[in-house]
């Protein structure tokens, strides 16, 4: 069998040499996309005299029926390195035959490496699927197994109108030379001038060379930006002084190094025509070495290379930006043993994996709001912008999760006294507010931009607090470049639904309107994935409720403990995941979702219809496989809380209140922990809780049946629970 396959490979190789390489297409399609092929048990290690096998994924880029001869491999359970090689592809009798030669590289933690060769036979199926098998060798060990592949659309998407950069062409990262005159005109407009003034104010901030986010590189980039826009070389001179200190500073971890590298890369690009050749040589060589370090990682400087970690995004974004800044520079500009194009490719691959694993389809991040948004504003938005201009490829396509990042946060913001907070998840319990929008505006597709700009203008812009979301130098630079001067702004309700669903991560957000501080906003996180080696809180099933100017169900302390979430306390809560089994929504922002864990179901319902006679009605039902033991229900809240048997009432200023009634269990033990500011309910059996938020009169509710299939009536609203989900009816 093996000999016959080798004969076929030899025949096909001769065929290729005689008639040329022909890359097969799927039936009735021109092949363009990324072909990802999984080889099962194609790598092996011998540890403690025990052989273990690992899968490897091979990635191949094809465009217009032509596939690259370069192929890349990644096997995260083997090690964290990227594996580069070559491939020859032929088609014979409706099959694909691939001959792959791959260098298996070590990573800083594991020395496993070697040479691999695989011969693949694949058959195209419907829906861009490939199935087949492989045989080959890794480190002289014969291996065979199954192979399966999928063809995905090209991402990032190539631009049809891109002009390739020329050697030593600068600026190139944030914009190209033809944009400079437009920016000089832009700063003469009323809004452009305000943003420029904000930039100048940020440059008066203290230059920081240490801490978690050193701003020295960004400060230098701001000075270089002003040198170009205002045509004042003294700014470039000041930037050089800062850069000299920055590149001679020792940084404790790659975490702190990455924002410095990103800032210095932008400064190098913007000040290129102002700095002399010796200075450019010094910075370019430094950037190449730091890019290599950020790509390879190091085991002794607090580094996490996991695909979905914010560390990976922060470091690889900076490395990719540095590579983009010095790509196609003369030989003396970086050591010849450093392959800049290769570093850029590895950075791109890591960033794509980050987007695919860490960010949901509608922008919810698996590490929570702070650790999701921080790498975007520090290195990723600059990288996406640089990649767009240098490589002519767009990460923010209309169907991408990146395109949803700003709309996602627009749909979760409640304005309160010049603050624009969200009901947050994850560690630190916050996000960067206006900075995210100032930095990310260039990554919003045109179809979403009018709605996003409504939020920006009303919160931070000319009709808001007039800060323009600018806290730091980079905010001002990116906003000045990307602020749309002649865009017709539209109310978000004209563009977005009031219910946001991130199916990949299991996040649901229900909003009644975009109006003012009294807007209602409720959310629940199903946490469909538990991803190790990253920030992961015990928040499966945790909900938030805001409305009428107050925060009712909130995030507890920023500590990785179940009692700081609004959940049923479970064993191993940190690893708990839930699957959605029911969902419905209404145009007014109301909705119902049921989430199933291993031994626990939570159904959560939101009603903004006012059928009940109150503006905000919320219901939570928890159903257990185990009904004999006590369970503990938690809701974190701050305020004046009164407990009366099975009822809690939270009273706030302005005669605004929340009333919560436990329909079941019958013998509920309900308390308010004033020290930790949380409501705690314990009891046997299932929990059924009805919560109303109102101003002035607190409504009465009527219970028809005293068991799980009862009916609860408030006003004209009838509440049921059956078939594993809450339902609403009309009395």
Radius of gyration from C-alpha coordinates of the chain? 28
pLDDT at 299: 85
Whether the per-residue pLDDT at 1 is higher than 60: the answer is no
| pLDDT confidence bin for 94, thresholds 50/70/90 | confident
Question: Can you tell me the distance from the alpha carbon of 601 to that of 624, in angstroms, rounded to the nearest whole number?
Answer: 6
The class of domain 157-493 in CATH terms is: mainly alpha
- Distance (Å, rounded) from C-alpha 270 to C-alpha 264? 10
Mean pLDDT of 244-257: 95
CB 134 within 8 A of CB 37: no
Q: What are the tens digits of pLDDT across the range 142-177?
A: 999 999 999 999 999 999 999 999 999 999 999 999
The pLDDT score that the predictor gives to residue 7 is 41
d(CA 174, CA 89): 38
Task: Give the pLDDT score at 204.
Answer: 97
pLDDT at 708: 54
Q: Which of 21-35, 179-193, 535-549 has the lowest mean pLDDT?
A: 21-35
Residue 707 is predicted with a pLDDT of 57
Residue 441, CB half-sphere, CA atoms under 13 Å: how many?
A: 30
Inform me whether the pLDDT recorded for 26 exceeds 80: no
Query: Is the peptide bond preceding residue 171 cis, with omega within 30 degrees of 0?
Result: yes
Q: What is the DSSP string of 172-201?
A: -SS--GGGHHHHHHHTTSHHHHHHHHHHHH
Q: Mind listing the pLDDT tens digit for each residue in 316-364?
A: 999 999 999 999 999 999 999 999 999 999 999 999 999 999 999 999 9
Distance between CA atoms of 491 and 727, rounded to whole angstroms?
Answer: 31
Cβ atoms within 10 Å of 106's Cβ, excluding its own: 14
- Give the residue extent of every domain in the chain: 2-152, 157-493, 498-730
DSSP 573: G
* Gap between the Cα atoms of 249 and 262, Å rounded: 15
- Residue closest to 695 by CA, chosen among 663, 728, 652: 652
Band (pLDDT 50/70/90 cuts) for residue 709 is confident
Higher pLDDT, 116 or 2: 116
Sign of CA dihedral 491, 495, 498, 503: negative
The beta strands (E) that lie in 76-187 are given as 82-92, 95-104, 114-125, 129-138, 141-152, 157-158
pLDDT digits 0-9 by tens, 263-314: 999 999 999 999 999 999 999 999 999 999 999 998 887 789 999 999 999 9
pLDDT score recorded for residue 517: 97
Distance CA(706)–CA(663), nearest Å, equals 8
Element (H, E) at 323: helix 310-326
Give per-residue pLDDT as tens, 589-625: 999 999 999 999 999 999 999 999 999 999 999 999 9
As a whole number of angstroms, the distance between CA 83 and CA 331 comes to: 25
Average pLDDT, the chain: 93
Q: How far apart are the first and last CA of the chain?
A: 73
Find residue 360's DSSP bridge partners: none
CATH architecture of the domain with residue range 498-730: Distorted Sandwich (2.70)
Cα gap 109→446, rounded to integer Å: 44
Q: What is the C-alpha separation between 57 and 36, in angstroms, rounded?
A: 6
- Mapping DSSP to helix (H, G, I), strand (E, B) and coil, where does residue 119 land? strand
- Which of 29-33, 145-149, 229-233, 336-340 shows the lowest mean pLDDT across its residues? 29-33
Percent of the chain with pLDDT over 90: 88
CA atoms within 13 Å, Cβ hemisphere of 595 = 27
Tokens matching residue 338: 């450093």
**Cβ(479)–Cβ(486) below 8 Å:** no
Torsion angle of C-alpha atoms 296, 298, 301, 304, degrees rounded to 10: 60
Q: Does pLDDT of 426 surpass 70?
A: yes
Look at the alpha carbons of 199, 205, 208, 211 in this order and tell me if their dihedral is positive or negative: negative
Residue 3, pLDDT > 70, answer no
Helix then strand then coil, in percent of the chain rounded to 5, is 30, 30, 40
Residues 6+ apart with CB under 8 A from 184: 229
Give the total residue count for the chain. 731
Buried b (16+ CB within 10 A) or exposed e, 160-190: eeeeebeeebbbbbbbeeeeeeebeebbeee
Parallel, antiparallel, or unpaired: how do β-strands 600-607 and 616-624 relate?
A: antiparallel
Sign of the CA dihedral running 672, 674, 678, 684: negative
**367-417 confidence digits (pLDDT tens):** 999 999 999 999 999 999 999 999 999 999 999 999 999 999 999 999 998
Using the Cα atoms of residue 349, residue 403, residue 585 and residue 678 in order, give the sign of their dihedral. positive
């Amino acid at each position: 069998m093996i000999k016959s396959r080798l004969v076929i490979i030899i025949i096909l190789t001769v065929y290729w040499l005689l008639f040329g390489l022909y890359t097969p297409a799927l039936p009735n399609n021109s092949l363009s996309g990324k072909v990802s092929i999984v080889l099962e048990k194609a790598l092996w290690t011998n540890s403690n005299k025990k052989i273990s096998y690992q899968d490897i994924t091979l990635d191949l880029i094809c465009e217009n029926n032509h596939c690259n001869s370069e192929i890349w491999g990644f096997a995260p359970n083997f090690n964290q390195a990227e594996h580069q090689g070559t491939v020859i592809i032929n088609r014979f009798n409706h099959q694909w035959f691939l001959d792959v030669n791959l260098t298996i590289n070590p990573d800083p933690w594991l020395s496993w490496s070697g040479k691999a060769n695989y011969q693949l036979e694949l058959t195209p199926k419907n829906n861009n699927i490939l199935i087949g098998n492989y045989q080959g060798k890794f480190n002289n060990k014969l291996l065979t197994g199954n192979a399966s592949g999928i063809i995905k659309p090209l991402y990032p998407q190539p631009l049809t109108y891109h002009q390739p950069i020329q050697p030593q062409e600068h600026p190139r990262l944030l914009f190209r030379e033809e944009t400079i005159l437009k920016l000089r005109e832009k700063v003469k407009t009323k809004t452009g001038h305000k943003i420029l003034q904000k930039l100048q104010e940020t440059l008066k901030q203290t230059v920081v060379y240490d801490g978690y986010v050193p701003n020295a590189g960004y400060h230098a980039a701001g000075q270089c930006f002003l040198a170009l826009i205002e045509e004042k070389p003294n700014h470039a001179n000041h930037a050089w002084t800062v850069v000299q200190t920055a590149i001679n500073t020792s940084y404790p971890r790659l975490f702190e190094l990455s924002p410095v590298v990103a800032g210095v890369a932008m400064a190098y690009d913007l000040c290129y025509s102002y700095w002399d050749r010796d200075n450019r040589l010094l910075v370019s060589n430094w950037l190449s070495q730091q890019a290599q370090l950020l790509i390879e990682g190091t085991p002794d400087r607090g580094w996490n290379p996991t695909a979905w970690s914010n560390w990976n995004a922060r470091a690889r974004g900076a490395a990719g930006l540095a590579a983009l800044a010095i790509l196609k520079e003369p030989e003396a500009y970086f050591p010849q043993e450093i392959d800049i194009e290769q570093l850029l490719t590895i950075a791109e691959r890591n960033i794509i994996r980050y987007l695919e694993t860490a960010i949901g389809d509608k922008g919810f991040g698996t590490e929570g709001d702070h650790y999701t948004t921080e790498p975007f504003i520090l290195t990723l938005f600059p990288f996406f912008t640089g990649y767009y201009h240098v490589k002519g490829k767009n990460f923010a396509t209309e169907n991408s999760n990146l395109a949803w990042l700003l709309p996602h946060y627009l749909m979760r913001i409640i304005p309160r006294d010049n603050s624009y907070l969200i009901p947050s998840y994850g560690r630190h319990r916050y996000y960067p507010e206006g900075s995210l929008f100032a930095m990310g505006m260039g990554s919003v597709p045109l179809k979403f931009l009018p709605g996003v700009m409504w939020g920006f203008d009303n919160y931070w812009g000319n009709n808001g607090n007039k800060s323009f979301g600018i806290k730091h130098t980079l905010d001002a630079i990116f906003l000045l470049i990307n602020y749309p001067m002649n865009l017709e702004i539209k109310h978000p309700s004209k563009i977005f639904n009031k219910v946001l669903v991130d199916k990949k991560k299991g996040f649901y957000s229900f909003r009644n309107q975009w109006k003012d501080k009294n807007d209602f906003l409720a959310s629940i996180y199903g946490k469909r994935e538990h991803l190790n080696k990253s920030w992961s809180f015990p928040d499966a099933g945790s909900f938030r409720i805001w409305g009428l100017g107050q925060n009712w169900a909130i995030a507890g302390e920023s500590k990785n403990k179940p009692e700081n979430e609004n959940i049923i306390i479970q064993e191993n809560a940190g690893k708990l995941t839930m699957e959605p089994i029911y969902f419905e929504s209404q145009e007014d922002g109301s909705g119902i979702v049921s989430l199933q864990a291993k031994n626990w179901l939570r159904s959560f319902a939101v009603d903004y219809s006012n059928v009940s006679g109150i503006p905000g009605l919320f219901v939570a039902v928890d159903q257990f496989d185990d009904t004999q033991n006590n369970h503990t229900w938690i809701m974190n809240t701050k305020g004046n809380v009164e407990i009366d048997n099975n009822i809690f009432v939270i009273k706030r200023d302005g005669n605004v209140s929340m009333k919560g009634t436990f329909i079941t269990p019958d013998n509920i033990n309900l308390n308010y922990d004033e020290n930790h500011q949380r409501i705690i309910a314990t009891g046997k059996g299932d929990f059924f809780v009805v919560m109303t938020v109102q101003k002035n009169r607190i409504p009465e509710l009527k219970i028809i049946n005293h068991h799980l299939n009862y009916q609860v009536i408030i006003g004209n609203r009838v509440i049921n629970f059956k078939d594993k989900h809450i339902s609403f009816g009309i009395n």
